[in-house]
Amino acid sequence: MSYVDDMHRELELLVRNHRDVPLPPPEEPEFHEFRPAQEARDMIAVDGSYSFLLNLSSWWLALVTVGLLRYSFDGTGFRRRDWRLVQRMVGVSTFEDYVSKQDDLHRSLFEFTKGRREDQPRDMVNEYRRFIEGQTAINFADDLEDAIVAVDGTLSEFPKQFEFMGRLVKVCEKRGHLLVGVSKDSQLHSFGHPLTDEDLMARVQSRLPRGAIAYARAPKASEAVKQGLLYGDIYYARLHPQARKWFRVDLGTFRDRPDFAFGQLAPYAKSLVSIGYPWPLMEAHRMAVTVRQLRPMYQESVIKAGLRMGLDVRTLLDGLTGVEGRKRSAFHEYLDKVARDLR
């Protein structure tokens, strides 16, 4: 039996489960059509990214960047009104004795990600990124009123004791902001269907009138699972008739007025560059990932500072990492290079 036979067997299973899967009854998901608002509020979009720079044994150095942009929409275009770029260097370790000497935040990050083995450094930095995103959003949103605060990802938080998401919700409620978390890609199966929620929406969207924009709420049971960690209601929304996909949108405020909330988001989803996805979030993302594009520059400053502190060049160069923290000098990297070069 060759790999081709394996492929046929496995692929057949995949295709059957994907294509021939029974669809839920017409009332599920429960679609609600809505209309874009005539006058959209300003949108504050927040997204973050990180890049690992150096790994020395069980210790990693990473740079976290959070971009915040405030936009207005006048019916014809997106006007940038304000911006913030926050950068924080973070050192994380997977060695417990070392972590025990760090501050509360680092210890919490360590505890929360414990057991994830080789993914732990990345997860710690990722959580740290979300923390900085939340802080940045809170600081900015507290100075404004009646805007849309759109953060990247879900409105959930870890570690619990820092409660930045809880504080963000409170600030938004106090200032009259509409708070949403928009996930670029979600693998949730809240409808209990073999298809992911996003795929399910795409499969049944033909039930909607042509050209309609709509949202559907995820079953409340799925929210209950995350009780205490989730700060909002989970929805799936198509924000433009030609949107390339449905997005998971967590609604943190105005939870009793989803028509209003999605009506406010829809005008920002009209850009031809990102149809169906709010343009300000797209730009916040582009702003944040500059940390990855400019990694060589940041690494250069790490090398210079390391040398001044007495580290030898070989150690520093061997410790340089890719964006996700893998050392360039890792043996696996060497094997990959040999495999590439010795064709």
Helix (H) or strand (E) holding 65: strand 59-73
C-alpha closest to that of 212 among 39, 36, 76 = 36
273 binds another protein (CB under 8 A): yes
Q: What is the distance between the alpha carbons of residues 112 and 162, in angstroms, rounded to a whole number? A: 12
- How far apart, in whole angstroms, are the C-alpha atoms of residue 40 and residue 239? 14
Q: Which stretch binds another protein (CB under 8 A): 104-112, 177-185, 249-257, 279-287?
A: 279-287
Nearer of residues 100 and 293 to another protein, judged by Cβ? 293
Cβ atoms of 215 and 262 closer than 8 Å: yes
Cα separation, 118 vs 245, whole angstroms: 32
- To another protein, the closest distance from the beta carbon of 279 in angstroms equals 7
- Which CB atom, from 130 or from 240, has the smaller least distance to another protein? 240
Closest distance to another protein from the beta carbon of 280 (Å) = 9
Contacts of 75 (CB under 8 A, 6+ apart): 267
Choose the binding region for another protein from 134-142, 151-159, 172-180, 277-285 (rule: CB under 8 A). Answer: 277-285
Residues 241-270 that bind another protein (CB under 8 A): 241-242, 270
Binding track over 63-92 against another protein, x by CB under 8 A: ----x-x------xxxxx--x---------
> Which letter does DSSP use for residue 327 in this model?
B
Nearest to 292 by CA among 51, 46, 48: 51
Binding residue count for another protein, defined by CB under 8 A: 21
- Smallest distance from the beta carbon of 287 to another protein, in angstroms? 4
Contact residues for another protein, defined by CB under 8 A: 67, 69, 76-80, 83, 240-242, 270-273, 275, 279, 283-284, 286-287
